[in-house]
Structure 1
Amino acid sequence: ARLLKQWIGRPLLDLKQIEQRQAIVEDLLDNYFERSGIIEQLTQVYDLERLAGRVAFGNVNGRDLVQLRTSLAHIPQIRYILEQLDQDIYRDFLAELDPVEDVADLIEQAIVDEPPLSITEGNLIRAGYNAQLDEYNDAMKNGKQWLAQLEARERQVTGISNLKIGFNRVFGYYIEVSKANVKKLPQDRYQRKQTLTNAERFITPELKEKEELILGAETKAYELEYQLFTQIRDQIKDQIKRLQKLAAKVAQLDVLQSFATVSEDNHFVRPTLSQNERTLDIVDGWHPVVEKVLGKQSYIPNDVKMASELDILLITGPNMSGKSTYMRQLALSVIMAQMGCFVPAKQAKMPIFDQIFTRIGAADDLISGESTFMVEMKEANLALKQATPNSLLLFDELGRGTATYDGMALAQAIIEYVHDKVKAKTLFSTHYHELTVLEQELPRLANIHVGAVEKDGELVFLHKMQAGPADRSYGVHVAKLAGMPASLLTRADTILHQLEGKEAPKTTATLKEVAPVQVEADDSEAQLSLFSPEVVTTKEPVGKEKDVLNEILDLNLMAMTPMDVMNAVFKWQEKLK
């Protein structure tokens, strides 16, 4: 999983490396039984990279070593399966899948099958590994057997069935008798050691002698086991480079078999990639995540066709029709292809992209004091400055965060800049239908749109890309789908028809050139002017007015306090009276 995340974040740029991965994926896909065998073996392999890291840092415990031994035991079988396949394709794997047998044998000889978590409390080292440790363990074992025999004998002699021999770290071993049975003890048989609420504890010289023997052996055994374990750990640490190299190779094989499994299950195809040619041709491509949610039958695939000489696809169409999905599925296909995986399409041919830049969605940065539009512009700026002709740009609704003409002007200027200077493959979706005329002016730009039809007043999305521009955006219809009130929608439709019936003023017009709207007294549907006719004037300011205006223009607001501003306004008010 960690390696897969790295590959997603850092797709390959070298065609030869990509094709090497593709060849392995294709071979594993074609050899189902061998792939199943590899998967079965890999499920028995623990996280080798994590285990190697714990060995390197010296904090490995007995259970970690058992997991390492178990993992290493399955490497020979994985090698054997790969040897049954095309050995030229797996040459690197066969060379680097080192089972590290010396480490596996060491762990097998030294560590018990079920060691405790702690490495300081014994029961780690297998019997027969160290003679001195075996002697200590034998002393402890025989001592405990003697304790059991002593307990049985004392019960029989005293007639006290609940007499028992116990141990604690403060008082050592002791004979415990309940208060009710103390009177049954023969006189002077035991030496009193501790009095409890419900029992008395005793000791004998014989028990004291055995205690010293058992505890001495136990302490020495624990110390020796810890020493032996650290020696074993250091021996394994000397082979850390081999373990790390093995972990990396096992992870690669795991990712590649998952590529093959996913490609088979979802009918992905092997893409054809080119280091030099700029043709992008995807037939019936789909978004793998959205398709998984919707189901294969519900998702409508689309082509992405950009000839070598075509740089920009200008995408228009209604909201919710699939423009953003279309753009994102292309980016995902590019990333998957350059990871070495097969792609969601019937057929795919694409260049190798060096970078992918996206400007999708709307988000602000309140902490930095940046509006949604500012974030949008900064992201677009980053793409324009760093993109190369081999990059992929995805611009979704650029310019919508400001006034209509500002946004439209910026969007057109960005398209022209990409076309003339950046020359990267670009998908640019927009609701500014006025921009579709750029197809006539920019030779490396083409219009496409997402099909939609209006049937009985209802909007039906076709979710299919078609050549040419869309006829309209259907925004009111989308608002209807969102459940807006009917009266609001009716009013919006009326206003829309009024606006569409008027000729938009030129962006270079001044207040002097725009005639005021005349409102007839009996025209209830007329759009009222925002300003009364008196406001629209060509009178030039003179005298005091001109002085005040000049002072306002020269004002440095950022250097003034609120009191400074109030004083300035008061001064202008007095001057104009």
Structure 2
Amino acid sequence: MSLNHQSDVISDARLVSQDSRASATPMMEQYIEIKAANPGSLLFYRMGDFYELFFQDALEASRALGITLTRRGQHLGQDIPMCGVPIHAADDYLQKLIGLGYRVSVCEQIEDPAEAKKRGAKSVVRRDVVRLVTPGTITEDKLLSPSDANYLMALARIRAGDEPSLALAWIDISTGVFRVAETTETRLLADILRIDPRELILADSLFEDPALRPSIDPLGRVAVPQPAVLFDSAAAADRLARYFGVATMDGFGTYSRAELAAAAAAVAYVEKTQLAERPALSVPEREEGAATLFIDPATRANLEIVRTLSGERAGSLLKAIDRTVTGGGARLLAERLMSPLTDPEAIRARFDSVSILLDAPRLITDLRAALRQVPDMPRALSRLALGRGGPRDLGAILAGMSAAYAVGETLAGVELPQELDAARAALGKLPLDLGQRLSAMLADDLPLLKRDGNFLRDGADAELDEMRALRDQSRRVIAGLQLDYCEETGVKSLKIKHNNMLGYFIEVAAPQAGPLTEGPEAKARFIHRQTMANAMRFTTTALSELETKIANAADRALSIELTAFDVLSSAVIAQSEAIKAAAAALAVIDVSTALAVLAEEQAYCRPAVDRSLQFRIVGGRHPVVEQALKKNSGPAFVANDCDLSGTPKSRDGESPGAIWLLTGPNMGGKSTFLRQNALIAILAQMGSFVPATEAHIGVVDRLFSRVGASDDLARGRSTFMVEMVETAAILNQATERSLVILDEIGRGTATFDGLSIAWASVEHLHEVNRCRGLFATHFHELTVLSEKLGRLSNVTMRVKEWDGEVIFLHEVGPGAADRSYGIQVAKLAGLPPSVVARARDVLEKLEDADRKNPASQLIDDLPLFQVALRREEARKSEPSKVEAALKALNPDDLTPREALDALYALKRQLG
């Protein structure tokens, strides 16, 4: 949400002046007071079966939601704008508002209307905000994506000494995940995008700090400034200790001051938005920055790791590799893909899990059958802890525990590697008695809301069974009583009905009411209640007594069920750590089986990953493009090798990795080749098998990819400026262990400027960064660098020309291209034949012209200048030298030999 937008939303706070209150109705005065206490959000004000919005909030909501704007009375002489949404559909409207970046304060009635009436006829029902709904603090299934985490992130800065320290803390209150990590100004945006929070809170001073603007501005409405008091590092440890109910945080690990400040701010914001409720958060888990592969923001976007440049999941790497069957597994897969590891041992542990499952196809089948029954236990647990849960959340816990038991039994007796063995152990710690208790108590068909009742099974509670019997059998009793009254009065159309105002009553048509009103006995027995236009309504002592019994039975049955719900919820929450551990274990098993299915389905290989500087890919393929070709029945993907390995220089080490200078035609597959090698590195270090015949990868610490570019007009940057900024970041940060992918550096400016920049960049990568790299270019002049740079090799995309047409082979081989075949690509794109033909003519002359100034020699042949020259020649009378020589010749006087010599002389004059 932008600052301008926030100021619009909170502008109603001006209404809380004394004069304003004096002119308001009691209800509107209450609204204004509550709105003033909750600035910066839209106020959903409960009125009956609707949430109403007034003043500026109504204007905002009507535009955002496309709902009708009405009015309700006047205030300070002006109509009060109003719009509303029905309670039963509130989640749908909340989803849209949250997606647009709004925050919503939900204001409920906290008093029975009957109690308000006791204070006077004009008394207003007490209301108050029970929850602040923000993008980072939602828990409802309808508002959450099953496969995406929903992180709230806090950024804190501590000034200690010359260098201020920065830290991030992120929480998913829907699952209880809580992590912290230190960061720096240079990697701040990359770390934020790696976590991909839905909401980032930071102190006002940080939000306005010019040094942090480059990292905050790209986040847009995700970044929300908060009062600095939330980030007070002096009180941070105590705040966290109080939240987790411990005397000190020392027992949970060692955290820096900045990490404590960020974690405490995140907790404070959760408390602020959830009010009296407390989500079941895990203890903050500290992450080391060096433990994950650093991927800068431009690279993350260019490689389309979790979403494409257009923001879609389809077409991304994540979509291509996702074979998970549970929500938790999908979220864990995305987390691993966003944060690949740099520790070879940890990576190999993940490979071991995939390998053992690949060798046991029957085990995979059994596991996935059980995993498909796993609901989202962490999110159900969170809703129960926050008091927003329903019977189906208890059912989700039961179903998840049952599936966990089944998975544990499937893995029993199987020899497993470390990761899967730890997961199996976590499943074994689930309390059996809790599962048995839930199974014995919960009905098979559960309602959405606990107030609807009927979620406890028959036999779960003896008193409940008794009340249900009285409640349910009352229908037969009422029917029997109605039959008795019909026979007694002789009125066959007599009905016993029920409504919320009168309860049970006897209704007869007005003309037939005589037997119930005539005579003292009838009047004494049938007590008149209401006269309608066409009917009369009565009651009897027997009917009133029966109504009391029925009403009490239904209320008592619901009361028993609600009490049981609270007891079961408390029992579940008491086992929250075991349940969350089991859910995490199921996610690990799901990801491992999914990656095994992927490897089998797509013929991926297990890569060798170590601490060397190797990067050797045999038969590498692009995971997304390959699957797209298969899906569309296109040609088979052409696999290519890539070897950027450092050569051994001694027993103790090896030289830095190589750089490949890639030339070749447009449409030849250069960008695909570049991207596929970067994606293979990411897949390998996240713990997945890779699309190749063979792969050996020395761990990459930083991955940089600049493939394609667009302008950034909002920040005053042209396409070329964006290209240069991204290139500068690479040249300033890449290390010997980094992998750098660069495509067409310098093409956005003048030819010689661009060539010079590309030339210097290649030298810098080779001599200073000393990294492994792929450098694609159309500046064929760069290929001469391989003669002086020992680790630079020339490779090219191969093509074949046939009958004047070019065939792109999509193969990479040694050597350098001598042309780019741009005109052939232009022809394929549909340029008019005349333009293509003219382009060929110009290209031939450019290639033949003096390279010092080809344009000057071409000027006579370009159509625009030809016209000007012809006009100039028309003004001039003297003939050219060639014309003069021709005019002086008399062919009849020349011998054949002399004629031939004259022709050669004319040819020389023409140059």
Residue in structure 1 matching 2:358, options 29, 39, 57? 29
Counterpart of 1:156 (choices 467, 473, 487) is 487
Letter in 2 for 1:232: L
- The amino acid of 1:294's aligned partner reads L
- Offset at residue 519 of structure 1 (A): 9.3
Q: 1:313 to 1:515 in 2, by over 3 A?
A: closer
Give the number of equivalent residue pairs.
520
**Structure 1 range deviating more: 490-499 or 29-38:** 490-499
SS of structure 1 residue aligned to 2:618? strand
2:759 match: 412
Which residue pairs with 2:423 in the alignment? 93
1:311 and 1:151, CA in 2 relative to 1: closer, same or farther beyond 3 A?
A: same
Contact 1:283–1:302 (CA under 8 A) maintained in structure 2: yes
- 1:402 and 2:749 correspond: yes
- Offset at residue 525 of structure 1 (A): 6.8
Whether 1:501 aligns to 2:832 is: no
Q: C-alpha deviations, 1:220-274, integer Å up to 9, x for none?
A: 3323422331222122111111111111111111111110111111111111111
* Residues 99-118 of structure 1 mapped to structure 2, 5 A cutoff: 99-118=430-449
Change (3 A) 1:515 1:445: closer
Q: Write the distance in 2 (CA, Å) between the matches of 1:92 and 1:501.
A: 70
Amino acid at match of 1:467: P
Report the counterpart of residue 327 of structure 1 in structure 2. 674
Q: Deviation of residue 467 (structure 1)? A: 0.1
Residues in 1 aligned to 2:534 and 2:371: alpha-carbon distance in whole angstroms = 58
**Match of 1:567?**
none
Partner of 2:406: 77
For 1:110 and 1:516, the matched residues in 2 are separated by: 88
Q: Are 2:662 and 1:311 aligned?
A: no
Instruction: Give the share of equivalent positions with the same residue, in percent.
Output: 38
State the alpha-carbon separation in 1 of the partners of residues 624 and 641 from structure 2: 17
Contact persistence 1:354–1:390 (CA under 8 A): yes
Contact 1:177 1:201 in 2 (8 A): yes
Amino acid at match of 1:91: D
Provide the C-alpha distance between the structure 1 equivalents of 2:643 and 2:856, rounded to a whole number of angstroms.
Answer: 47
- Is the contact between residue 55 and residue 240 of structure 1 (CA under 8 Å) also seen in structure 2? no
Q: Tell me the equivalent position of 2:457.
A: 126
Preserved contact between residue 423 and residue 588 of structure 2 (Cα < 8 Å): no
Question: Which residue identity is paired with 2:576?
Answer: I
For residue 175 of structure 1, the aligned residue among 502, 506, 509 is 506
Deviation, structure 1 residue 18:
1.2
The alpha carbon displacement at 1:367 in A equals 0.9
Q: Give the Cα separation in 2 of the matches to 1:350 and 1:46.
A: 37
* 1:288-307 C-alpha deviation (Å, 9 max, x unpaired): 21111223852111111223
- 1:461 and 2:790 are equivalent in the alignment: no
Is the contact made by 2:849 and 2:857 (CA closer than 8 Å) also made in structure 1?
A: no
What stretches of structure 1 of length at least 5 have no aligned partner? 506-513, 533-577
1:17 aligned partner: 346
DSSP-derived class of the 1:125 partner? coil
**What does 1:110-509 align with in structure 2 at a 5 Å threshold?**
110-179=441-510, 181-183=512-514, 185=516, 187=518, 188=522, 189-275=525-611, 277-295=612-630, 297-309=635-647, 310-505=657-852
Offset at residue 527 of structure 1 (A): 10
Query: 1:385 & 1:182 partners in 2: Cα distance?
Result: 96
Matches of 1:427 and 1:527, distance apart in 2: 41
Letter in 1 for 2:483: A
Structure 1 residues 137 and 287: alpha-carbon distance in aligned structure 2, compared to 1, 3 A threshold? same
Write the distance in 1 (CA, Å) between the matches of 2:487 and 2:731. 95
Which amino acid counterpart does residue 101 of structure 1 have in structure 2?
L
Deviations 1:122-160, CA, capped at 9 Å, x for gaps: 323334444444443344345444323212322333344
Supply the RMSD in Å over aligned alpha carbons.
Answer: 2.5
**CA–CA distance in 2 between the matches of 1:402 and 1:382?**
19
Equivalent position amino acid for 2:431 in 1: V
- Distance in 2 between residues matched to 1:429 and 1:347, nearest whole Å: 24
Distance 1:252 1:197 in 2: 69
Deviation of the 1:416 alpha carbon:
0.8
One-letter amino acid of the structure 2 residue matched with residue 137 of structure 1:
R
Length-normalised TM-score, structure 1:
0.85
Say which is worse superposed, 26-35 or 149-158, in terms of deviation. Answer: 149-158
Give 1:328 shift.
Answer: 0.8
Cα distance per residue 1:448-488 (max 9 Å; x no partner):
00001221111110110010111211111111111111111
Aligned partners of 2:347 and 2:855: how far apart in 1? 65
Partner of 2:233: none
Deviation at 1:363, TM superposition (A): 0.6
CA offsets, 1:170-219, max 9 Å, x none? 11111122345434657415222122333322100111112122223322
User: Against the structure 1 CA distance between its residues 185 and 286, is the aligned structure 2 distance closer, same or farther, given a 3 Å change threshold?
Assistant: same
- The alpha-carbon deviation at position 524 of structure 1 amounts to 5.5
Give me the whole-angstrom Cα distance separating, in 2, the residues matched to 1:500 and 1:519: 11
What SS does the corresponding residue of 2:695 show, helix, strand or coil? strand
Select between 114-123 and 41-50 the one with higher mean Cα deviation. 114-123
Distance 1:161 1:248 in 2: 66
Deviates more, 1:123-132 or 1:487-496: 123-132
SS in structure 2 at match of 1:115: coil
* Matches of 2:398 and 2:856, distance apart in 1: 87
| Counterpart Cα distance in 2 of 1:342 and 1:153 | 78
Q: Over residues 473-529 of structure 1, what are the superposed CA-to-partner deviations in whole Å (9 max), with x where a residue is unaligned?
A: 111111111111111112111111111112323xxxxxxxx8995899xx7579969
The residue aligned with 1:47 is 376
* Cα contact 1:519–1:528 (8 A) shared by 2: no
The answer (yes or no) to whether the contact 2:706–2:742 under 8 Å persists in 1 is yes
Code of the residue aligned with 1:6 in structure 2: it is: E
Residue matched to 2:240:
none
Specify the SS of the correspondent of 1:173.
strand
Which residue does the alignment assign to 2:894? none
- Counterpart AA for 2:718: S
For the residues of structure 1 that align with 2:411 and 2:854, how far apart are their CA atoms?
A: 81
Q: Distance in 2 between matches of 1:151 and 1:84?
A: 66
